[in-house]
Structure 1
Amino acid sequence: MECFRIDESGYTGYDLLNQAQPFQGSSAIAIGDDDAARLIQEHFPKLQAPELKYKALSRRRGNHPRLLALIRDVLQNYKCVTHVCDKRYLLLLKYVDYAVEPFYFDRGFDLYKEGQNYSMASLLYYAGPGVLGREAMAALEKAFQDAMKLKTSESLAHLVTRAQAADWQALPEAIGPLAQFADQECLEAIATPGVTTDIAFIILMALITRMEAMAAGPYRVEHDQTKNLATFHDILQRQIDHDGTAEFRQSAIAALRFPLKLQEVTQVDSKNSPAVQLADVMIGAAIEAGQQLTGRVSEGLDPDALMGLYADDQIIHMLPSLDFAGQRAFRQGTQASELMDYFAKHFSG
């Protein structure tokens, strides 16, 4: 059975405002351990460490050409996909989902139609600090994250207060439901048990969508035995156990069909799995490129050289965009609302 090896980077649970780790992502590669070991030996014949670790290798400039060559060989010869997202943007998408969308739903307006939720979150991401006030926007984001975690009447009231304290009239479509109306449907959505800002589910579902498209038939997944990946393991197992029949269009290039081809998920020690080590290299390089392109770090692989290695279907970005027309075209006919309802019914909690 075909096997995809996966690894993650940047996971901070519910905390999407972590300044040290602003990006989160995961990579999946359909490669066997023998082929992976051969590639590692070819590109790093003098490696002394017990396993290949991207962060350790990237620190030395002399390793950069070999890392790029290794990544090129993986991308050109094996089925693989990498998913990277901006965590603050994902927090704002969650804000739109729970602190805005229920208000519009009650009034018969589908905010998910043609990706309008993505456009609203992007607008908040870029324009929010300027038009609402930088400190007020930061306080609103933190209050929302806290309310989603704590779900107390005090945290919900504080969130409304933070919305009212911002110059919300500048963006009434996004802030008004809380600031002007303290909308009960929105507050109840935020307080729903099991609802969280943790985006592991989103990261994995993006990977699953691509693995399902790449796999010729039934396949399995292996991942490292880390605490962070324990959350991923549970999510993957729940997808395997689900036997419902459904299909959803997500965008111009993505669709998801249940039941999945995914049959099995197992944990392995990455020291004994060269294939999982390559997944670490793939996601480590992508996260580092995001850090460089946003000016957060200056050292690492040339991000332009790295991104130039990827085919369009090998990388998934969940990043804010002000190309609203492009967003509408990309998400024309999306069944996002139906998909979210399906997830809430079968995979919540």
Structure 2
Amino acid sequence: MECFRIDESGYTGFDLLNADQRFQGAAAIAIADDDAKRLIKQHFPKLQAPELKYRSLSRRETNHPRLIGLMRDLLSDFKCVTCVCDKRFMLTLMFVDYAVEPYYYERGFDFYADGQNYAMASMLHMAGPTLLGKPQFKRLMVSFQRAMKEKTDGVLNELVAAARGTNWGQIPEVIGPLARYADPECLEAIATPELSTDVAIVVLQSLITRMEVMADGPYRVEHDQSKNLATYHELLQRFIYYNDTAQFRATEITTLSFPLKLTEVKQVDSKKSPAVQLADVMIGAAIEAGNNLAGLRSGGLDPEQLLALYADEQFIHMLPSIDFEEQRRFRQGTQNGDLIDYLAANLMGAKR
């Protein structure tokens, strides 16, 4: 049975404002341990470490051509996908999903049609500090994240106060539901016990959508035994155990159908799995590229040289975009609102 190996990077749970970890992501690659071992030996014949670790290798400039060569081989010869998200943007997107969308939903507007939520979140993320006031916008996001975690009346009231403390009249269609009305539907959505700002489910859903397309038939997943991957493991098991039939168009190029072709998930020791080590290389390289392009870090591989190796379907990014027309075309006719409700009700236990 075909096996995809998965590794993650940048996971900080509910805390999407973590200053040290701006990006989160995961990579999946369908490669056998024998092939992985061969490639590691080919590109790093003098490796003495017990396992291949991207972070350690990228520190030495002499390793950069070897890492680029390894990535080229992986991306050209094996089924793989990498997903990276800007966690601060994801928090803004969740703000739109839970602190804005319920207000419009109750009034009959499909806020997810043609990616309107994504466009609004992009605008809020990029222009919010200027329009609302930089410290006020920061307070709003901190208050929202806290409210999604603690869900008490006190923190919900603090969130409303934070919204009213912004220059919300600049974008009343976004901040108005909280600032003007303290909208009960929005506050109820934020207070839903099963919902949080943890984006592991979003990252995993993106990987699964591509793995389902790439897999020729039933397939399984293996991943490292790290603490962070425990959350991914539990979510993968939920997907596996869910057997009802449903289908959703997620984007212009992807459809997610239930039940999945995914049949098994297993934790392994990465030191004994060269294939899992290569998944570490893939996600490590992508996260490093994101940090470098954002000006947060320096050093490591040339991000432009690295990203040029990917085909469009091999890289999923959840970043703000001001190309609203392109986003509208890409998400036109999608069923993201229905998919969100479906996953919340059937896999996460929450209902809108």
Q: How does 1:162-311 map to 2 (within 5 A)?
A: 162-311=162-311
CA-to-aligned-CA distance 1:245-275 (integer Å, 9 cap, x gap)? 0110011111100000000000000000000
| CA positional deviation for 1:100 | 0.3
Aligned residue identity for 1:216: D
| CA positional deviation for 1:209 | 0.3
Partner Cα distance (2:39, 2:173) in 1? 52
CA-to-aligned-CA distance 1:98-125 (integer Å, 9 cap, x gap)? 1000000111111111100000100011
Partner Cα distance (2:257, 2:126) in 1? 34
Match of 2:103 in 1: 103
Query: In the comparison of the two structures, how many residue pairs are matched?
Result: 349
Partner Cα distance (2:309, 2:348) in 1? 37
TM-score (norm 2): 0.99
2:43 corresponds to 1:73? no
Give the gaps of 5 or more residues in structure 1: none
Identical amino acids, percent of aligned pairs: 65
Partner Cα distance (2:288, 2:340) in 1? 31
Q: Give the SS at the match of 2:309.
A: coil
Match of 2:329 in 1: 329
2:127 corresponds to 1:134? no
TM-score (norm 1): 0.99
Q: Give the SS at the match of 1:227.
A: coil
Aligned residue identity for 1:320: P
Partner Cα distance (2:194, 2:106) in 1? 22
| CA positional deviation for 1:4 | 0.1
Partner Cα distance (1:177, 1:251) in 2? 28
Partner Cα distance (2:137, 2:212) in 1? 38
2:349 corresponds to 1:346? no
Aligned residue identity for 2:101: E
Aligned residue identity for 2:71: I
Aligned residue identity for 1:40: I
Aligned residue identity for 2:36: A
Partner Cα distance (1:64, 1:232) in 2? 30
Partner Cα distance (2:313, 2:295) in 1? 26
Give the gaps of 5 or more residues in structure 2: none
| CA positional deviation for 1:345 | 1.5
Q: Give the SS at the match of 2:142.
A: helix
Partner Cα distance (1:234, 1:344) in 2? 15
Aligned residue identity for 2:46: K
The ranges of structure 1 where at least 4 consecutive aligned residues each deviate by more than 3 angstroms after the TM superposition are none
| CA positional deviation for 1:336 | 1.0
Q: Give the SS at the match of 2:310.
A: coil
| CA positional deviation for 1:337 | 1.4
